[in-house]
Amino acid sequence: AAGVIQSPRHLIKEKRETATLKCYPIPRHDTVYWYQQGPGQDPQFLISFYEKMQSDKGSIPDRFSAQQFSDYHSELNMSSLELGDSALYFCASSWLDRGQITDTQYFGPGTRLTVL
């Protein structure tokens, strides 16, 4: 079965540089989520989109922005990178069944960002 695709899988940047992470959801999924996981920590929710509209917002820094495109893929843009941004960034996607209130989030393999 097709899974969530994230690119790149690894990224090394210098402080103050910018980075763009991409996420391609499972086919037919209409909602994407972004999470940040620091070393030894649990994933922290950043932001989510449903049908190209922001659905929920978490602890996403102002230096970060994200959007979902018409083909449902999403991009997370990160500017003025700091050492503390080094983490594993997960994208998840979901599809809401008719009659259900919630959905199951399926995660991609993650992008490991290292800021030097």
Partner 1 sequence: AQKVTQAQTEISVVEKEDVTLDCVYETRDTTYYLFWYKQPPSGELVFLIRRNSFDEQNEISGRYSWNFQKSTSSFNFTITASQVVDSAVYFCALTHQAGTALIFGKGTTLSVSS
Give me the least distance between CB of 104 and partner 1, in Å please. Answer: 5
| Tokens standing for residue 97 | 């069944």
Which CA distances in Å does 78 have to 21, 47, 89, 94, 101?
8, 13, 11, 23, 32
Choice between 18 and 55, CB closer to partner 1 = 55
Report if residue 43 touches partner 1, rule: CB under 8 A. yes
Which of 58, 69, 80, 82 touches partner 1 by CB under 8 A?
A: 58
Name the CA radius of gyration of the chain, rounded. Answer: 14
Segment interacting with partner 1 (CB under 8 A) among 15-23, 42-50, 62-70, 75-83: 42-50
Report if residue 61 touches partner 1, rule: CB under 8 A. no
Which candidate, 26, 23, 19, 18, places its Cα nearest to that of 35?
Answer: 23
Choice between 110 and 115, CB closer to partner 1 = 110
Cα gap 23→32, rounded to integer Å = 8
Which candidate, 41, 42, 43, 20, places its Cα nearest to that of 33?
Answer: 43
Report if residue 82 touches partner 1, rule: CB under 8 A. no
Q: Would you tell me which residues interact with partner 1 (CB under 8 A)?
A: 31, 33, 35, 41-45, 48, 50, 55-56, 58, 88, 90, 92, 94, 96, 100-110, 112
